[in-house]
Structures are given as C-alpha cells and as structure tokens.
Amino acid sequence: MRNKKLVWMVEIAIFAALAFALDFVKWSMPQGGAVSLAMIPIVIMAFRRGIGAGMATGALFGLLQIVTGMMSITPLSFEFVILQVVLEYIVAFMVIGLAGVMKNRFDEGFEEGSKGKMIGAVIVGVIFAGAIRYVIHVIAGYFFWGMYAEGNALIYSAVYNATYMIPLVLLTGIVCGLLFAAAPRLLEAKTA
C-alpha cells in the first residue's frame, strides 16, 4: 500500500512537471492567456489514475506556476490577490482533472476495440473539464480584471477567455484523443 501511494505521488509530480515544461511551448495572447500543450499531462493522469490524481496534478501545476512567478495578478488588496491566485492558478488547473469522468467510457471503448469510442470519451472529458475551467476564468476575469474591460465586464471576460480557451480545449482534446487511441498503454496504471 505504501509503495502504491509513493508511485502515485511520483507520477503526479512527474506529470505536473511535464505540464509545466510544455507550458513554455505556447502561443501567447497579447493581453494574457495562451494556447499550449500543458493540459495534456493533466488529462493523461486523469485517465490513467482517475479524477483525484488528475486534480492533484493540475493543482501542483498551478502551484509550480505560482512559485516560479509565471502568473499575472491584478494590483488589488492582498486578500483579493490571494483569492485571485487560488481561483486562477489552483482551482482553474485542478478542474482539468475532471476530464477523468469519462475514464470508464474510454475503458469500455478499449475493451471493445473501438478507437472511435475511445477518442470520443477523451474529447468529451476534455470539453467538460475545459468548460468548467473556462467558467472559472470568466468569473475571475469579471471580478479581478473587469476594471480594464471596455463595456460590460462579464461579456468582455467571456469573449476574451473564449479566444484562447476554445482553441486550447480543441487542441488538447484532439491531441489526447489521438494519442490515447494510438498508445492506450500510456494509460495503464502499473503499481509497484
């Protein structure tokens, strides 16, 4: 049992570090946000070990961004900054692990030999998790960045976040779907 927990912790750390490294290969938006491959290792953990491991990987990835200063924060009071950092960097990346809600459907597709079912499960899981992450960023954008909006802050935040979240979710879903269908052993969780 102890070895199993250690293997899980090591895998979470490795995949979070991989997400952090992949975040350097990105297309950055002029006012913030970026399209990168960083979500892929988090989604792998969500399908490999389940939702909890995926969420832990996402949270650790967010913490890595915080401790390395790879974040943008508003010049507000200390309490607002703490709330913003937790919402935009811990919670927003943690919910990517919710893609694992489709793990059982993926496993069914694997057992049936249906690559279409496998790819579909991955894409649906990524879209589900990406939609939740998008809502978190819209809320954060409204409350923390709304002062910079031109016009209605909520609409501005929704449109702005959609400009990078839609391509990000589509890219992640397609890459993970094809990767998992081509190499399903990547998701086999061996225990020490």
DSSP assignment letter at 76 = -
Q: Dihedral (C-alpha) 74, 79, 80, 85: value to the nearest 10 degrees?
A: 70
Domains of the chain: 2-187 (1.10.1760.20)
Q: List per-block mean pLDDT (blocks of 10 residues) for the chain, which spans 192 residues.
A: 85 97 88 88 96 97 88 64 87 97 93 92 97 96 82 92 94 94 80 50
**Hey, how many other C-beta atoms are within 10 angstroms of the C-beta on 77?**
9
pLDDT number for residue 145: 77
**For the chain, what is the radius of gyration of the CA atoms?**
17
pLDDT number for residue 79: 67
* Token pair belonging to 23: 């975040």
- Exposed e or buried b per residue across 136-147, where buried means at least 16 C-beta atoms within 10 angstroms of its C-beta: bbbbbbbbbbee
Does residue 50 come out as left (phi exceeding 0), alpha (psi in the -120 to 50 range) or beta?
A: left
The SS3 assignment for 72 reads coil
Q: In the beta sheet, which residues pair with residue 36?
A: 26
Burial of 135 (0-12, 13-18, 19+ CB in 10 A): middle
Q: How many CA atoms lie within 13 A of 93 on its CB side?
A: 28
pLDDT number for residue 106: 92
